[in-house]
Amino acid sequence: MACSLQGVRSGFRSVNKFCVSTKLTNFRSYYLYSPEPFHPLPDRLPQKNTAEEAVQVIQSGFRVFVHGAAATPVPLIEALCQHGLKAGLRNVELLHIHTEGPGTYNKPEYEGIFRSNSLFLAANARKAVMDGRADVIPVFLCEIPLLFRENKIPLDVALISITPPDKHGFCSLGPSVDCTRAAIQNAKYIIGMANRHLPRTIGDGIIHQSHVDTIVECDYPLHELKKGELSPEELKIGKLIAEHLVEDGATLQMGIGSIPDAVLAQLNDHKDLGVHSEMFSDGVVELVENGCITNAKKNIETGSIISSFAVGTKKLYDFMDDNPFVEMCDVSFTNSTAVICQNPKVTAINSCIEVDLTGQVCADSIGEKMYSGFGGQIDFIRGAALGLDGRGKPIIAMPSTTKRGESKIVNMLKNGSGVVTTRAHVHYIVTEYGIAYLFGKNIRQRAYELIRLAHPDHRERLEKEAFERMKCMPSP
């Protein structure tokens, strides 16, 4: 592989391990050691290659970061999978948050070639994890960047999506900055898929082309997440939260899914709402267009929507493109409890898989089967609870039953289930049957409040199980 200044990486990266040149030392200067992607490196331009050519640098035993969410670079992934087969690669680790697309590397025929290691599990990786062919790391979303910045997980290569360089040579990470900024600061080699469909976003996701080793020009439609039809139960939950828990001037955090969508759909009569969230979707756009979201009352980045990634439809991506009203930031900032708690009336709305009668919240697994991850739930549950104005509202919301009619409020979590939000962290629990406030309540009182929120078909059984467990009746 030809080498010149291409072989010099910033900061601790020093000399590119894929190239050897005795002349590299002649190019070294103070300015070439900055890992800051905003900083243009003098006289350095990326190579332009096809996807097939670009991934040739990846060798057996490498650890490769893969850009996730809506920015998942599927053409690069597919080229890498083919390279893995043709070159006979072994033990290449792919590290990522949830990725969209088929997740080809997780298919059984790639066992031994690639091993996926999820920092937040997606549907395309669950089967591989259950079969023992892939891994998952339990980690708070806010702490993922530390894994790279403190070199706990060194990165050889980063596969990322970027916008084409502008007239100054700057590219954007688009709708997914999250932990990717930390990855590109620390990876030894960066392959950027320049995609004209990627929205150019403002904030921490700017990288100068001089930090990219190889650019692959690509025309690939973004991954879209269509809004599903909300159930009557979800609409009821949204109405309860909107009418009783979201105040005018509140700073909102929403997870992904139908429950946050249901809440957003009910907020069109609210005023001066702000958004500081690890992610957002289409529901926010309508509230901006209707004048409900102004960000005027926020203390942190007043006037701007703050987020770290976004997944939705083309309408959302068009809204984000070159829009100074939206700042996409490093997740260590968006999800820092020290930052979150400074905003007014922080209202954190998250969902879960099940809750036991003491208030333990499982959100990452179904029994022993890993389903998703910690994500930002506890970051914002804690940030809202610590709100400096004393008016934060940490909310866990869910329908009372699964689609199969099983109660999501249970005496004890399923065997093997993980606790994401502990019973000491939990404050508000909401189902279609009402709102329970658990903070400061003892176990007997919590059981009473939660049984009240359960589906009527399950309340008698839960009362009996609670009595057997506590040796007394649940009561207020």
236, amino acid identity: K
Helices 443-453 and 456-470: crossing angle in degrees, nearest 10, is 170
Residue 76 has phi, psi (to 5 degrees) of -70, -40
Residue tagged active-site, from 143, 278, 327, 354:
278
How far is Cα 329 from Cα 331, in angstroms, rounded to an integer?
6
Do 64 and 58 touch, CB atoms closer than 8 A? yes
Do 37 and 9 touch, CB atoms closer than 8 A? no
Q: What is the largest CA-CA distance in the chain?
A: 79
Token representation of residue 287:
């509230």
Chain centroid to CA 209 = 25
DSSP character at residue 418: P
User: Which residues fall within 8 angstroms of residue 442, CB to CB, at 6 or more apart?
Assistant: none
Residue 91 has phi, psi (to 5 degrees) of 55, 45
Burial of 25 (C-beta count, 10 Å sphere; 0-12/13-18/19+):
exposed
Locus of tokens 């940490």? 394
Burial of 162 (C-beta count, 10 Å sphere; 0-12/13-18/19+):
buried
Alpha carbon distance, N-terminus to C-terminus of the chain = 72
Token representation of residue 421:
């939000």
How far is Cα 197 from Cα 318, in angstroms, rounded to an integer?
9
Locus of tokens 């036991």? 356
What 3-state class would DSSP assign to 348?
strand
Q: Which helix (H) or strand (E) holds 199?
A: none
Dihedral sign computed on CA atoms, order 152, 153, 158, 164: negative
Tell me if residue 229 is catalytic.
no
Enumerate the active-site residues.
Answer: 278
